[in-house]
């Protein structure tokens, strides 16, 4: 996974065609100061209250990296869909600033990668299977999660549970 020091003032100079698979990342922990609006001005969604921003990121585990949601108003802010529950991640996680000029959420189902599209890599399983950032709706709230061909759908953490959505979710891709 690509990451940079959070004190950096600007993202690396990549064109869209040469953007690294995982994109520009800001490494954080539960005790980090949340990044400035320069990197968080475009939250891809809001929590169930409709006001609290929710961001996309990747949670770093000893043998894997999982796409996650980052909700600065929650404690801890990093939440991962895993093992049927919403895991409150206590370790390092990387914030992926959402850039609508270079990224877009593309409709998909059943773990498929849309034809001709290049998804933003969000991590990998212990066995090396790739994981991608995904987004789905649950109970009227748009929630970031993870997807992969091997998952057959989108897994999201919401309400202390892991929810699996097989149809009608979105995968984060680089814009064409």
Residues 6+ apart with CB under 8 A from 74: 47
Q: What is the pLDDT along the chain (176 residues), one digit of tens a residue?
A: 333 333 333 333 334 444 556 788 999 999 999 998 878 888 999 999 999 999 999 999 999 999 999 999 999 999 999 999 999 999 999 999 999 999 999 999 999 999 999 999 999 999 999 999 999 999 999 999 999 999 999 999 999 999 999 999 999 999 99
The per-residue pLDDT for 41 is 85
Domain residues of the chain, as ranges?
Answer: 18-174
- The per-residue pLDDT for 145 is 98
DSSP state of 111: T
* Secondary structure of 153-166 in HEC code, one letter for each residue: EEEEEECCEEEEEC
pTM of the model: 0.87
């Amino acid at each position: 996974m690509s990451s940079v020091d959070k004190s950096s003032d600007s993202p690396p100079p990549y064109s869209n065609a040469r953007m690294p698979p995982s994109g520009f990342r800001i490494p954080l922990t539960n005790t980090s100061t949340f990044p400035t609006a320069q990197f968080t001005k475009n939250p891809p969604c809001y929590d169930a209250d409709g006001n609290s921003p929710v961001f996309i990121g990747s949670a770093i585990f000893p043998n894997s990296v999982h796409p996650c949601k980052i909700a600065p108003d929650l404690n801890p802010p990093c939440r991962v869909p895993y093992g049927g529950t919403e895991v409150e991640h206590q370790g390092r996680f990387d914030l992926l600033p959402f850039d609508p000029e270079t990224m877009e959420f593309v409709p998909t189902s059943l773990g498929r990668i849309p034809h001709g599209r290049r998804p933003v890599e969000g991590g990998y399983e212990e066995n090396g299977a790739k994981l991608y950032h995904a987004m789905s709706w649950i109970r009227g709230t748009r929630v970031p999660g993870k997807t992969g061909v091997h998952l057959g759908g989108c897994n999201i953490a919401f309400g202390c549970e892991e929810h699996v959505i097989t149809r009608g979710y979105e995968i984060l891709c680089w814009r064409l």
